[in-house]
Structure 1
């Protein structure tokens, strides 16, 4: 049979069921978020790894030196497999669209041992075929290609007609990134195809230029380091780990940010739930002091009293956790499928993790337990005589109370509220704490959203000032032809190429971009937002390189390119939201990069032009081989941030619900605690409207007092969460529009005002006769 103490716990909780439900909802939200997002993170990690294992994704890839020698050195150092291949980026013509794509060499006799491809539609390359290609699925989707279609690839002898043999998926291009610094690009400006190794070598007029290495399963960090060192000693100038591979790095950045948020936001929610439980049980214990005194006078041990009230917290916590864990388990698979579907991840693994559900239940119980711990300890340490005395929650009138009492011009209700805010410090603190948590929850989500939107705006309005980039065959007079197109405002020559920047503490593979020193196509700014000028000599580099390479302004670094090594002085660090690149004048960049058979241009367009028409017109010019619309990159950005926007949207929604729940609990409990006082006022003839107004005014004053603390902590929380996204791919800083903080403060004030409505209903339902009888007894 159920013990009397347990019956009392359930009865007491039922009497305040609306507040108990509100606390349970906050716990359920926190547990649901944890189980759903942490489970989805585990599923996504396993999904990626399954694809990588199935397609033998390279652990290390190297360029420079003799690839065959580098591959053999890796095998000698303990690698499981090592191959060489040719990879080039020639112009392509696909369905009338000119672009600079990527051609990767494959053996035709069998699938490669490293970096294999999975055939989705069609069949693998026929043995010895030189006119067949496999098209990576992102390019196939963009251009609507199917097996049997044809496209053209530029070679040293002109355009080569090839036939699409199959549509394939590749672990290297789960996210179609050309390079580490070009992960977000115009989908119409990049395509990856695979052809026979002999065909690629023939088209490019080169020999294999990459070595790919697969390590044994479960390889240790020391083995990885040994193989890397062996490859470097064999002549490799750049060795990129799987973590640094552009596609994996991009997806991993997104995934790690998701992981950080999947931990941080549930912690915030559960902290808010713990505070709500603390407020609820603290006020209940103050109400039940006579009952506690009676129990202890009748022989109840302190431990029993402690366990009684701790049990109430555990009941609330477990009830909320059970609901949250069930909802989280259901949402887990939906989040995983939505993510892999949106990004086109080939393998989707959905699992339910019992240990995670158990952990969620434990979190709920612990939150309820901790929320009840303080009040329960206070209850158990209360002596029977002390408990039987009337509660004196408010301090005696002090200078502030006397000052307020003399302000006869103020309404009585306002004077009561001003007095009680200071006299009942515990009640005021509870209300302020609820307000602070509400602001932190809302600002943490809104701040991240607004800051990333600002970063996108900065990238495409202050940093990238051009509207499009064009690649043309050298010596064809393309610059004049482009400038003559109606709708083109300006044209500037540029250069760009792959470079490895080598400093005292390491190296970093990126892009070296050359502009005129007075360019209007790109903006350069430092971390303080001040404009920088592109130097005639030396380079500007992304500020992330300072720590990665151990360099400062004035230091000399080595630029390793296909043309060899050269020295350059760092003249400044640029702060750009997306990417970590190197910039130099046209002369400096041209001297560092290998000679090219193509020219590059940045262009700006007149306002209001049809951008699709401009693409068609310019790509139709003689000599033009590629066109990239900078504004089309925004589509890739939105796709990449799709999960983030969805997550933040849910956080804002749930954060709002949680804020309302926390504030409702604090406001409603204030009314419950003051039942006797309110009944006395009503019995004395004070109208309901005036009583409710005094309580509401006190609550709103406490809310206003909490606003500065909540705003400061909310801004700090948003900045801390945003920093989890920062690395060499993204450099984000917190940004607030002038209206954001006032608007958030007003929204919380509105939530507090809404919370007064159920509190007013509670006041109206107070049984005056019953309370007066109880007090008289």
Structure 2
């Protein structure tokens, strides 16, 4: 009988959720294809997917109702007719045992602490709900922070140029001077980029080898002098090729040329897994500079400066690095919208979890609340006691949930990492604090309906039922 409640609710929620999910998926697909300029978008419902979703909801409902149903079935009829028994033994709370001075607190504060310890199952379920809610929120929020921080690092700390100028041939001193003379250009620096295959004793990896002069201002390196000691590799190649600093590595260059070198270090860059060495080394190997990295003067007209660069002789192409950054951010707007939707769902689930926990808390303690009221405790004081208990449990859940949520969010982001993209979890300093404050706000909001239900408790009827 009691198990059927969970089955019915799970099935109803699964069917409604599957229908809403199909509609939301179609809408998201149309928005995505429209943003990318795809003229035709075809969506198709997959009954199998909806059936799996509904089945999952049904299973969750059954599992959620199983433990309470078994507990209810084991209660003897005579015991059930006596009303709600005491939920635990009296005595100092766990917090008072660990921190003895807490035992000297006023009675109302000790009542809150002892209520938490007396019904440990209820308290643990509330803490678990907070942990799950915080995990959902921090995973979604972590995706937003990680993407924002990594893009800022890539286009702020790693790629410091404003434009990349490619010439028809090698970069000469005259070509470099002409580029520097363009109005709006603050600095120009020759560089080289050639395809390369990195070969170790374990594996090989195809990428691009980029050459910069020592002390370059166009690319961020933690140790620019490492360019002169060998080859700097992207962090992903360390695992792919099983290499360490100082290990030998072969560089297979265009024309069949092979250069033996050593790994001088590793760079941690969000986009791409490139290899870096000094410009002079590549020139010695016969690869002259084939690009000019340009930084604009503060306040320069970007469009006019780019046009001036394109009009120079021997210029084959000009790439607007800041325009590329804007393009990334534009297309990531869809990603932000999707993750924002996840964040809304996470907050909603947090509210539902905590609302259910608080409602059950009040329902299970109707006799206790009635006893307090019958002994002269006002409704406001009872509400304050329950609110304090709820907030303490929420804070305990936040303390436990933050490290758990961080680990889950880190592994979730790592699942998207590859040799081309590094999605290491990056949380802004205020994100965990904001997530915790949001949960406290959700806890205070979710308890309002339950606290209003206190006013509807019939004091006389509850006392008579208890006495009978």
TM-score normalised per structure 1:
0.56
Q: Which residue of 1 aligns with 2:176?
A: 479
Shift of 1:492: 1.1
Equivalent runs, 1:491-506 vs 2, <5 Å: 491-506=188-203
Question: Does structure 1 conserve the Cα–Cα contact (< 8 Å) formed by 2:93 and 2:118?
Answer: no
Q: Secondary structure at the match of 1:563?
A: helix
Shift of 1:327: 0.7
Paired with 1:349 and 1:500, the residues of 2 have a C-alpha distance of: 41
Q: Which residue of 2 aligns with 1:141?
A: none
**Counterparts in 2 of 1:500 and 1:416: CA distance versus 1, 3 Å:** same
Q: Secondary structure at the match of 1:536?
A: helix
Paired with 2:411 and 2:9, the residues of 1 have a C-alpha distance of: 31
Question: Does structure 2 conserve the Cα–Cα contact (< 8 Å) formed by 1:413 and 1:693?
Answer: no
2:416 pairs with 1:719 = no
- List per-residue Cα deviations over 1:525-544 (Å, max 9, x = no partner): 4xxxxx45342252111121
Shift of 1:347: 6.9
Q: Which residue of 2 aligns with 1:524?
A: 221
Q: Which residue of 2 aligns with 1:67?
A: none
Q: Which residue of 1 aligns with 2:187?
A: 490
Equivalent runs, 1:152-231 vs 2, <5 Å: none
Question: Does structure 2 conserve the Cα–Cα contact (< 8 Å) formed by 1:413 and 1:691?
Answer: no
2:331 pairs with 1:657 = no
2:25 pairs with 1:332 = yes
2:260 pairs with 1:565 = no
Q: Which residue of 2 aligns with 1:415?
A: 110
Equivalent runs, 1:436-585 vs 2, <5 Å: 436-473=131-168, 474=170, 475=172, 477-525=174-222, 531-567=223-259, 568-585=261-278
Shift of 1:375: 1.6
Paired with 2:200 and 2:103, the residues of 1 have a C-alpha distance of: 73
- Structure 1 unmatched runs, 5+: 1-307, 526-530
More helix, by proportion: 2
Shift of 1:594: 5.3
Equivalent runs, 1:205-284 vs 2, <5 Å: none
Shift of 1:679: 2.0
More strand, by proportion: 1
Q: Which residue of 1 aligns with 2:361?
A: 670
Shift of 1:750: 1.2
- List per-residue Cα deviations over 1:428-469 (Å, max 9, x = no partner): 112212211121111111112101211111111111122212
Q: Which residue of 1 aligns with 2:89?
A: 395
- Structure 2 unmatched runs, 5+: none
2:385 pairs with 1:694 = yes
Question: Does structure 1 conserve the Cα–Cα contact (< 8 Å) formed by 2:167 and 2:291?
Answer: yes
Q: Secondary structure at the match of 2:228?
A: coil
Paired with 1:653 and 1:533, the residues of 2 have a C-alpha distance of: 47
Shift of 1:721: 0.9
Paired with 2:370 and 2:456, the residues of 1 have a C-alpha distance of: 10
Q: Secondary structure at the match of 2:19?
A: helix
Question: Does structure 2 conserve the Cα–Cα contact (< 8 Å) formed by 1:483 and 1:490?
Answer: yes
TM-score normalised per structure 2:
0.92
2:283 pairs with 1:586 = no
- Coordinate RMSD, CA, aligned: 2.3
Q: Which residue of 2 aligns with 1:258?
A: none
Paired with 1:548 and 1:521, the residues of 2 have a C-alpha distance of: 28
- List per-residue Cα deviations over 1:50-105 (Å, max 9, x = no partner): xxxxxxxxxxxxxxxxxxxxxxxxxxxxxxxxxxxxxxxxxxxxxxxxxxxxxxxx
Larger gyration radius, structure 1 or structure 2: 1
Higher relative contact order (CA 8 A, sep 6+): 2
Q: How many residues align?
A: 461
- List per-residue Cα deviations over 1:516-555 (Å, max 9, x = no partner): 0221111124xxxxx4534225211112112222333223
Shift of 1:657: 1.0
Paired with 1:502 and 1:347, the residues of 2 have a C-alpha distance of: 44
Equivalent runs, 1:568-647 vs 2, <5 Å: 568-592=261-285, 599-647=290-338
Paired with 1:414 and 1:396, the residues of 2 have a C-alpha distance of: 15
Q: Which residue of 2 aligns with 1:341?
A: 34
Q: Secondary structure at the match of 2:227?
A: coil
Paired with 1:645 and 1:546, the residues of 2 have a C-alpha distance of: 31
Question: Does structure 2 conserve the Cα–Cα contact (< 8 Å) formed by 1:492 and 1:601?
Answer: yes
